[in-house]
Amino acid sequence: MIAGDFLSLLAQAHGAILPPTVPTGAPVQTQATTVFAFHCAAGVLVAGDRRATAGNQIVTDRVEKVLELDPTSLLAIAGVPAMAFEMARVLQTSFEYYRRSQLQTLSLAAKVRALARLLRENLPMTLQGVGVVVPLFAGVDTAAAPPAPHIYFYDPLGAQFHAVNFAASGSGATTIRSILSFQDRYGQPRPPQMTRPQAVQFALQLLSVAAEFDSATGGVDPQTQSYATLKLLTPAGIQTVADSEQAQALSAP
């Protein structure tokens, strides 16, 4: 037992069965960061860089971290891609099964809880530190009048929180949240007032700044055709921001 190791003491004193720990020298797991979402005039813009890392190594700069679950739902992943992608596949299947079997779409509240349940079921992997997923979820409340998109963020144990204006997750989240908070309080225009071109340009600027302070966050570079994954969730559905539109936004004054 390591001195000061509470979990080992608990197991020794009370016979508690603990999940196995990762052995020393185990391969470093792949991590995917950074993602964020904010309200703009057209809806909710969900963005993610495209870098995945393993320790201090860059695995790839071509990861898609903003995933479409159905025509009105987006999942932005931060954490271990293997677990996050599997969660996305489960949600896609369950949402579609419900739609076909019940002849109606699942409510936004039910979708939010479905993701929370998957995160709770992932608790053993989270405790071991080898399967941590901290996602963002954006969905349209089709029951509202008029329908409106909403943003939710989660902790690794499955607690869900409604984000009023914006949310961010991943290694670059601190920098991005700080800039979003400043812009929302003092900037002109505020994010909820931004047009689509303004929101796209702002999102790319956020990633560029985050990449300067966090090596795990991939920035954007038109020279190497390295762009972000940007999707706009509107009451009418999901729109993907193409690389050409991102390049135009980067060149705009």
Collect contacts of 104-113 with beta carbons under 8 A, ≥24 apart: 105/70, 105/72, 105/142, 107/142, 107/143, 108/139, 108/140, 108/141, 108/142, 108/143, 108/150, 111/69, 111/73, 111/137, 111/139, 112/137, 112/139, 112/152, 112/160, 113/160
pLDDT band with cut points at 50, 70 and 90 for residue 19:
low
The answer on pLDDT for 78 being more than 80 is: yes
* pLDDT, tens only, 219-230: 888 888 889 999
Mean pLDDT of 21-30: 52
Residue 30 clears pLDDT 60, i.e. is over it? yes
Residue 253 banded pLDDT, cuts 50, 70, 90: confident
Q: Which is catalytic among the residues 21, 24, 33, 234?
A: 33
User: Catalytic: 33?
Assistant: yes
Looking at per-residue confidence, does 28 or 99 come out higher?
Answer: 99
Q: How far is CA 206 from CA 9, 81, 107, 209, in A?
A: 45, 22, 32, 5
Lowest average pLDDT, out of 151-165, 175-189, 218-232, goes to 218-232
What span, in angstroms and rounded, lies between the C-alpha atoms of 207 and 163? 20
Torsion sign across C-alpha atoms 62, 63, 69, 73: negative
Does residue 216 contact residue 176 with C-beta atoms inside 8 Å?
A: no
How many other C-beta atoms can be found within 10 angstroms of the C-beta atom of residue 150?
19
| pLDDT above 60 for 128 | yes
Q: Give how far Cα 136 sits from Cα of 34, 83, 158, 205, 232, Å.
A: 11, 14, 11, 20, 14
Better-scored residue on pLDDT, 203 or 225: 203
Residue 137: Cβ-neighbour burial (10 angstroms; 0-12, 13-18, 19+):
buried
| Cα distance between residue 184 and residue 178, in whole Å | 10
Average pLDDT, the chain: 89
Distance of CA 134 to the CA centre of its chain: 7
Walk me through the domains of the chain, giving residue ranges and CATH numbers.
29-251 (3.60.20.10)
Would you state the pLDDT for residue 13?
63
With a cut of 70, say whether residue 100 has pLDDT above it. Answer: yes
134 close to 155: Cβ distance less than 8 angstroms: yes
Average pLDDT over residues 232-253: 95
DSSP string, 166-180: EEEESTTHHHHHHHH
pLDDT of residue 211: 94
pLDDT at 24 over 60: no
Q: What values do phi and psi take at 53, rounded to 5?
A: -125, 160
The predicted pLDDT at position 10 comes to 52
Q: Which residue has the tokens 């409604």?
A: 162
pTM exceeds 0.75 for this model: yes
Give the pLDDT band of residue 127 (cuts 50, 70, 90).
confident
For residue 93, the model assigns a pLDDT of 98
Reported confidence tier of residue 140, pLDDT bands at 50, 70, 90: very high
Helices 196-213 and 173-186, axial angle in degrees (round to 10): 140
Nearest-angstrom CA–CA distance, 170 and 43: 22
What mean pLDDT do residues 206-218 have?
93
Amino acid of residue 59: V
